[in-house]
Amino acid sequence: MTASEDAGIQVITIKVAQGKFINNCYLVINCANRAAVIIDPAWQLDKIQQIMQQCQVDLQGILVTHAHDDHINLAQPLADRYHCPIWLSQQEAEHSGYHAEQLQLFSEQVLEIGGMAIQTLITPGHTPGSSCFQIGQNVFTGDTLFAEGVGLCPDREAATTLFNSVQQLKQRLAADALIYPGHTFVKAPGQRMDHLYKMNIYLALDECETFVNFRMRPNQDKSRWMAFS
């Protein structure tokens, strides 16, 4: 568990794992009232609940970047236990078929949860309805954007869509935005966007065809990038 705080918002990174999958889920706390949301909870329920208890938070929402099991695995159990909604983009719900009694759908909009303004950014490509969440300076990018790369794509059409989403993030995010991805491999979560420009080759690829060819190149060591699924 690691923590950072900026402008009254505390971000706690919770590293969770099952088999080859190693994920980051994030507990985001409004320091003024201890209201919190959790982003992409999976795998280790006891660990997550223990940290929430230690932080003495009031969980008011579950935000999901996309509906792959390693990001949504614990959404329903936490929603049941803490009586709070699960937020997922409408596009992702429609394409994935994910359903829960507490499910709330969003388009690109600002959510007001626990006194926090949460800007949703629809960034398809890795999945048809992948999303990012911006809370103050902090941006939670799921499997759209990593410090070291971008998420896997099933085909060239999806990779083209991901290119457009990455270009959107480049246009919309400030240099000092702090990036919290769904997985980390070398650099810790919370890298500045301007630092990513120096370490992430995909941010330097401004031509769509070049981006797509590189993302879909053959003979990649997918065992190393298992968590990109």
* pLDDT exceeds cutoff 90 at 172: yes
167: containing domain: 2-228
Q: What is the pTM of this model?
A: 0.93
Q: Where are the beta strands (DSSP E) in the chain?
A: 2-6, 9-18, 21-30, 35-39, 58-63, 86-89, 103-106, 110-113, 116-122, 131-135, 138-142, 178-181, 191-192
- The more confidently predicted of residues 19 and 208 is 208
What is the tens place of the pLDDT at every residue in 85-100? 999 999 999 999 999 9
CATH for 37:
3.60.15.10
Q: Which one-letter amino acid corresponds to residue 77? A: P
Domain count, the chain: 1
| Per-residue pLDDT tens over the stretch 217-229 | 987 755 444 333 3
Task: Please give the pLDDT value at position 146.
Answer: 95
Laid out side by side, the sheet with 138-142 consists of 110-113, 116-122, 131-135, 138-142, 178-181, 191-192
